[in-house]
Structure 1
Amino acid sequence: MFNDDEKPMAPASNAGRPAVGFSDAGKASVKAEHSKEAPLAASTISVLLDVSSSSSTVGRAPLDLVVVLDVSGSMRGPRLEQLKSAMQFVIKKLSPMDRLSIVTFSNKSDRPCALRAMSEAAKSDLKGIIDGLVARGGTNIEAGLETGLHVLADRQFTESRTANVLVMSDGEQNHGDARQVANPHGVPVYSLAFGADADMKLLSDLATNGGTFNPVPDSGNTGMLAVFSQLMAGLLTVIVQDLHLILSKPTSPDDDLDKIIKVAPGDFNQETDAQSGTVTVKFGDLFSGEVRKVVVDLLLVQATGSDYEADMLEVAVSYPDSKGVRQKFRGQTLHITRSGAATSVRATPNLVAENARRQHAQSIGAARELADGDDLEQARDKLVEAQNALEDVLDQANPLVAILRTELQQLLDRMESPELYKAEGKAYALAAELSHARQRFASRGDVEGVRLFATPRMDAYLKQAKEFAENPDAPVPNADEDAEEEAKANPIALVAGSLAFYIRTAVEALQAIEKIVTATAAAGNA
C-alpha cells in the first residue's frame, strides 16, 4: 500500500561513507571488569561487561524515519505551534541520505507525504506540509501508529537502513487500542506525551524495541523542540545495527567455567543454546557513544593444587558489516587467578555501582505502583529507602551516584500530592523506568534535569535546539556536517575502534603463545 518510497540518495559528503582505513571491526567493543582472583573451591563470580559503540559517526546508518503526529482538536494553539517548530528542526537536521515521512491522526490517520529522500526540494515540501497542519477531531492513536508502521513495512529500499517511528500525542485515545497494533518487523517506536492530559501509561507501553518514552511539559515553548533534538541526536548516529553479544565457554581445554548461571542485560532479549550453553544477547541498534552494561554470573569449577591462571569466559560481538552480512568479531577471553589464599570473590566498585543503579530502578517501579494505588506515603517511603541504599555504594565519587540521587529527589518532589503525581510524577517514573531498562537517554519532562545515558551528540543537539529556538532562520548544520566537524576535532576517532580491535587480537594471540611455551617448558622439566 505504501511502496512509493523514494530511492535513497547517496551520501552528500564523506561523513556518510566509511572513512579511509575504516573497518567494520571495532564498531562495537566489550570491556570486562571482575575480581582478579577466586578461591580454589567452586565459586560464583560476577563479571561486568561494558558493550559500547564507536565514538565516531562516520559511516553511520542512513535513517528512514516516520513521525506520527497528533493533530486532534486539543492540539490547537500553542501546542501545535510548538510541534511545528520542533518538526522544522528535525527536517533541518536530516541529511540527503536520510528519508522522512509524515503521518497525522485525529479521527483517522493520513499520510500527507511518502517516505522522501532529503533533497532540498523535499525539505521545502515537508516544511510546507508541517506549516499547513490544522488541529481538529478526535485522538485515534491506533490508526496513526498502524499507518506509520505500514509505511516502513512496505518500503522498496531497505538495505542497511535503520527504520524508526516517533509517535506523539497530547490526549487519551478514543478510537481502538494502539497497544494492539502489530509490529512484526520489530521497528523501534519512540513515544512522546505532550502535556498532563496525555495517556502516560499507553504511550509508555507503545515505546518498544529499544524505543523510549518521553513526557513533554505543557509549560514553556521549547519543550517539544528539546525532546525532538535528543531523539534525533540518537537516530542520526546509529553506528552499529542489530548488535549481538555472544558469551561462551572458552575453547581452551583447561578452562575453569562450569556454567554461565545468569546474564542480566536489562530489557533485551537473550537466547541460550541448550547444547553448548552459549548465551546470545540481542541489543538492536546502538547510537554512537552508547554503552550497554551487562552483569554475568559464572560458576567456576572446584580446583586443586597450587595457584594458577585459568580461562573462564569467551566474549564476542556480531553485527552486519557495511554490506549487510552478519560478521562475528572475536572479543576476548577472560582470565582469573585461582588462589589458595583467596577466601571469597570481591565485587569491583563499578559492579557495585551498577547493581545499585538496577536496584534503584526497581525502587522507582515499585514506588510508581504504590502511587498508582493511591498510596503516596508508601511510595515516598520506598524512594527514601532507595536514597539510603545509595550510601552503601563504596565509590561515592562516582558521578552515577549523584545522578541517581538527583533522580530520586526529583521524583519525590513530584509525589508531594496526588495532583502533582498525576500531572508530572507518573510520567517521570514511567520514563525513568524505561530509560534504565534500555540504558538509553529519555526526557523525564526536563531534558536537562537528569542526563543519564546521554551521548556527546545529544549534548551538542540540545545546544543547537536552544539556538534554533532563539533564531529559527539561522542556518542549522545537518547530521553529516555535524559528523565532519567531529572528525576534524578528533580525527583518530575514525579508526580508533578498529585499531583497538586489532591490537587486542594481537595481544590475545601473544598470550596464547606464551601459555603454550610455558606448558611445554613445564612438561619438559617434569
Structure 2
Amino acid sequence: MLEITGGGSTNDRPGLDLVAVLDVSGSMGGEKIAKVKTAMLFMIYKLSPIDRLSVVTFESGAKRLCPLRQITENSQKELENLINGLNASGGTNITAGLQTGLKVINDRSLSGGRSVGIMLMSDGEQNVGGDAAKVPVGNVPVHTFGFGTDQDPVVLKAIADNSIEGTFSDVQNMDNLSIAFSQCLAGLLTLVVEDLRLKVIRYEDESTIEQVIAGSYPQSKDNANGSVTVTFGGLYAKEVRKVIVDLLLPAVTQEREADVLQITYSYSFQGSPFEANPATITVRRTGKFAEQQERPEVKIEETRLRIVNVIKARKMAEKNELRNARDKLVEAQNSLGDVDDKSNPMVEMLASELQQLLKMMESQKIYEKQGRPFALSSETSHDRQRFTTRGDQEEGPRPFATPRMDKYLEQARSFNKEPSKPPPSVDEDVQEEITANPLAPVIGAINYYLQLAIKCLLAIEKIINRGL
C-alpha cells in the first residue's frame, strides 16, 4: 500500500478563484433561500484578499450576478448586499448555471498560479435546459450539493464525477447547508499541491503489476515499460490518498534481494512543477512459501474497499430489490465483526454508514428520498477519499475530514446560531495553526511515505507451481 499525505498549514497558499452557482428557482423560496444566504455569508467572511469570488444564480435561465471580485472590506459589504437580495422564482436549469460558472473560470485574464473551484447547489430536478451531466467541465473541480429531499442526486453526482476531484454532498437538513459549504471551503482554502500524479513501474523479470486500486481517479498504463500512473488532481492539507498495488512475483530458486517496484510522484504548486526522485521497493525473495502477517493498516484499507463495493448494492434498490440490497448490507455488517481493530475510526465509520443505509432502505419511498442521495454521497466520498456531507447526520465519524474541516465545522455551527458575529478569516485560521505548530510551514508541501503490502493474486505456492 502506498500512502500520500498533504503537508500542514502554510500561509503560502495560492489565491482561490471560487464561483458559487446557486439554485434560486421557485422551490427555493422561504426558509431555503434564507439558509442559502447564511451559508454564502459564512463563505464571504472566510475568504481573504488573495481570493476572488463570483456569484452565479440559475432558475429557468442563468445569470452572473458579479464577476470574480477580490475580497476586500468594501467588496465584502457589496457581496453581502448582493446575497441578501436573492429571490426565488422560475424553473430549474442546472445546465445553464453550470455553463455560466465554467465560463467565469475559463474567461479569466489573470489565472497563473491560482487555484479554482465551483460550488454548485440545487434543491430540485432539472426541468429546463439540457442534461447537466453531459456538460464537459475540463480540469475545473466542481463540487455539488443536493439540498433538501427533492434534489436530483444522480445528476449532481454525475456533474461532480466529470471533474477529477469533484465531490457530491447530500444536504437533507436545511440547517446544515452552512456546514456543508464550510467543509468544502476548508479544503479549497488549504490546497497544498495541484496536478498530483503517482507513478508505479514494475521491474522487468522481477514483478508484474496486476492492478492498481485508487478509487475513481483516472489511471493510464504504459505497457512498454510496465507502468501505471494515477492522476489525483489537488490535495488538501493533511488529506491522505491510499493506493493498493497488487504485484505478481515470479518464482525464484535461490534466496536473494529483488527490486520489485519503482515509485515516483509529481505535482505543481502555484504553477511551478515538481517531480520527486524515484523510490525503489526491495524485498527478500527466499523461494519458499511463508505465511506473512498483513499490516493492520492494509487490512483496514482492504476492509474499506470491500464495504464500499457493498454500499454500491444500492443498484439493487434502484431495481426495487430492497430485500436483496438489505441482505448485502447485513452481510457486510457481520463481516466487520471479523476485523481485529474494531475501535479503528474507519471501522466505526463503516459500521455507522451501513447502519444508516439499512434504515434508509426500510421502504422504497424512504430509499428514493433519503437512501439514494446518502449512498451516492458516500460513494463519491470513498472514491475520492475526500470528506462529503451525507444526509442530516451531524455527529459521529467523519471519514476523510481534515483538521481544518473540523475547525470550520464548529465555526459554521456558531455562525448558524449567531449570523451577526462573523467567523475568523482564513488568514486568522492559518496564523493560529502556525502559532500552534511553528515548524508546519517548513515541513514541505507534501509528506510522502511508502508502506508496502505485496499481495499476490494467487497464493505463493500456486505461483511457484505455475512456474512463473
Q: Taking structure 2 as the reference length, what is the TM-score of the superposition?
A: 0.91
The letter for the 2-side match of 1:200 is P
Give the equivalent residue in structure 2 for 1:274: 223
Range that drifts further, 434-443 or 349-358:
349-358
Give the equivalent residue in structure 2 for 1:456: 403
Contact residue 57 and residue 238 of structure 1 kept, 8 A: no
1:167 aligns with 2:116: no
Cα distance, 1:228 vs. partner?
Answer: 0.7
Matched residues in 2 for 1:108 and 1:475: separation? Answer: 32
Give the equivalent residue in structure 2 for 1:439: 385
Q: Secondary structure at the match of 1:207?
A: helix
Cα distance, 1:500 vs. partner?
Answer: 7.2
Q: Secondary structure at the match of 1:257?
A: coil
The letter for the 1-side match of 2:259 is D
Matched residues in 1 for 2:189 and 2:308: separation? Answer: 28
| Aligned partner (choices 108, 111, 133) of residue 64 of structure 2 | 111
Give the equivalent residue in structure 2 for 1:265: 214
1:407-443 per-position Cα deviation (integer Å, ceiling 9, x unaligned): 1001111112222222211111110011111111001
1:186-335 to 2 correspondences below 5 Å = 186-208=139-161, 209=163, 210-218=165-173, 222-249=175-202, 257-306=206-255, 308-322=256-270, 324-330=271-277, 332-335=279-282
Give the equivalent residue in structure 2 for 1:365: 312
Give the equivalent residue in structure 1 for 2:458: none
Give the equivalent residue in structure 2 for 1:417: 363
Q: Secondary structure at the match of 1:464?
A: helix
Q: Secondary structure at the match of 2:388?
A: coil
Matched residues in 2 for 1:87 and 1:478: separation? Answer: 14
1:222-265 per-position Cα deviation (integer Å, ceiling 9, x unaligned): 21111111111111110111101121246xxxx87332221111
Cα distance, 1:179 vs. partner?
Answer: 1.4
Contact residue 191 and residue 203 of structure 1 kept, 8 A: yes
| Aligned partner (choices 331, 343, 351) of residue 290 of structure 2 | 343
Matched residues in 1 for 2:48 and 2:414: separation? Answer: 20
The letter for the 2-side match of 1:378 is N
1:322-342 per-position Cα deviation (integer Å, ceiling 9, x unaligned): 4x2322112522121112454
Matched residues in 2 for 1:135 and 1:345: separation? Answer: 62
Give the equivalent residue in structure 2 for 1:466: 413
Give the equivalent residue in structure 2 for 1:401: 347
Range that drifts further, 394-403 or 120-129:
394-403
Matched residues in 2 for 1:422 and 1:132: separation? Answer: 34
Contact residue 192 and residue 446 of structure 2 kept, 8 A: no
Distance 1:218 1:447, change over 3 A: closer
Distance 1:261 1:128, change over 3 A: same
1:477 aligns with 2:424: yes
Distance 1:500 1:102, change over 3 A: closer
1:90-135 per-position Cα deviation (integer Å, ceiling 9, x unaligned): 0011111111100000110000100111111111111111000010
The CA RMSD measured in Å over matched residues stands at: 2.0
Contact residue 207 and residue 261 of structure 2 kept, 8 A: no
Give the equivalent residue in structure 2 for 1:489: 436
Q: Secondary structure at the match of 2:325?
A: helix
Contact residue 256 and residue 311 of structure 1 kept, 8 A: no
| Structure whose CA Rg is larger | 1
1:179 aligns with 2:126: no
Distance 1:411 1:465, change over 3 A: same
- Note the residue ranges of structure 2 that are not aligned, 5 or more in a row: 451-468
Q: Secondary structure at the match of 2:312?
A: helix
Contact residue 257 and residue 298 of structure 1 kept, 8 A: no
Q: Taking structure 1 as the reference length, what is the TM-score of the superposition?
A: 0.81
Q: Secondary structure at the match of 1:474?
A: coil
Q: Secondary structure at the match of 2:277?
A: strand
1:355 aligns with 2:302: yes
The letter for the 2-side match of 1:409 is Q
The letter for the 1-side match of 2:290 is T
1:28-107 to 2 correspondences below 5 Å = 48-107=1-60
Matched residues in 2 for 1:261 and 1:340: separation? Answer: 21
1:149-168 to 2 correspondences below 5 Å = 149-168=102-121
Matched residues in 1 for 2:153 and 2:58: separation? Answer: 18
1:241-293 per-position Cα deviation (integer Å, ceiling 9, x unaligned): 1101121246xxxx873322211111111112232112211100011111111
Contact residue 6 and residue 445 of structure 2 kept, 8 A: no
Give the equivalent residue in structure 1 for 2:90: 137
Distance 1:448 1:231, change over 3 A: farther
1:123-155 per-position Cα deviation (integer Å, ceiling 9, x unaligned): 111111100001011111111111001110111
Q: Secondary structure at the match of 1:428?
A: helix
Contact residue 6 and residue 236 of structure 2 kept, 8 A: yes
Contact residue 252 and residue 286 of structure 2 kept, 8 A: no
Distance 1:488 1:299, change over 3 A: same
1:379 aligns with 2:325: yes
Q: Secondary structure at the match of 1:350?
A: helix
Distance 1:475 1:321, change over 3 A: closer
- Structure 1 segments, 4+ long, off by >4 Å, are 498-501
